[in-house]
Structure 1
């Protein structure tokens, strides 16, 4: 997880963060125990592959909270699409009970909010505190 505020490319200096949330199909409590642990590994793996940084992650039994940083050429829609497709495919292969309980792992919808530097700490604290609710 990165801590540097500014990122650089050949022509750009940027600091773009997104708070992303998406739910399991029918809000079923399937993201627990070993599935939760494996989901965290898969999200980090895919984030590394596509070049985004997961600053904060919290997996709830029926939804996912992420705070990610990306470069200006990546749309939030594309990021969510990449993460959801990759994790759904692998989790459903590895955990057969997911194939029998749900027609698909994720809902088609998601929540996205852009996050500036001022509210970054607030979003991280909010995500951290989700487990305690």
Structure 2
């Protein structure tokens, strides 16, 4: 890869204090990202995910101009968000970790 995935990982991790979340597990795939996060409930998951998407899009498109030419937008408006409750935290961690091998 051309370093975009590494930079995206850095950007997601560096905003944890400002946006009040903790990344527990992360896997960056070619066309999406798996994140297991602990989010401040006062801010909410949708707020945090939208902030991460906006910030990372702005920085990545400035640092990697080829993204501007390839894609009209870096992120789609869609997202899948679910709370962890029906399964253990460890099961979710394993699922995300296993995505590397898919």
TM range (shorter): over 0.9
Task: State the alpha-carbon separation in 1 of the partners of residues 70 and 96 from structure 2.
Answer: 27
Count of matched residue pairs? 102
CA contact (8 A) 1:39 1:91 kept: yes
Bigger radius of gyration, 1 or 2? Answer: 1
Name the Cα RMSD after superposition: 1.3
Task: State the alpha-carbon separation in 2 of the partners of residues 79 and 119 from structure 1.
Answer: 23
Task: State the alpha-carbon separation in 2 of the partners of residues 52 and 117 from structure 1.
Answer: 21
Task: State the alpha-carbon separation in 2 of the partners of residues 48 and 59 from structure 1.
Answer: 21
* Structure 2 residues without counterparts, runs of 5 or longer: none
Q: Quick one: higher RCO (CA 8 Å, sep 6+), 1 or 2?
A: 1
Within 5 Å, give how 1:16-55 maps onto structure 2.
Answer: 32-55=1-24
What's the TM-score once normalised by structure 1's chain length?
0.73
Q: Mean Cα displacement is larger for which, 102-111 or 116-125?
A: 116-125
Question: Which has more helix, going by share of residues?
Answer: 2
1:119 to 73, 82, 88: 88
CA deviations on 1:65-100 (whole Å, 9 max, x unpaired) are 000001221211101111100000000000010000
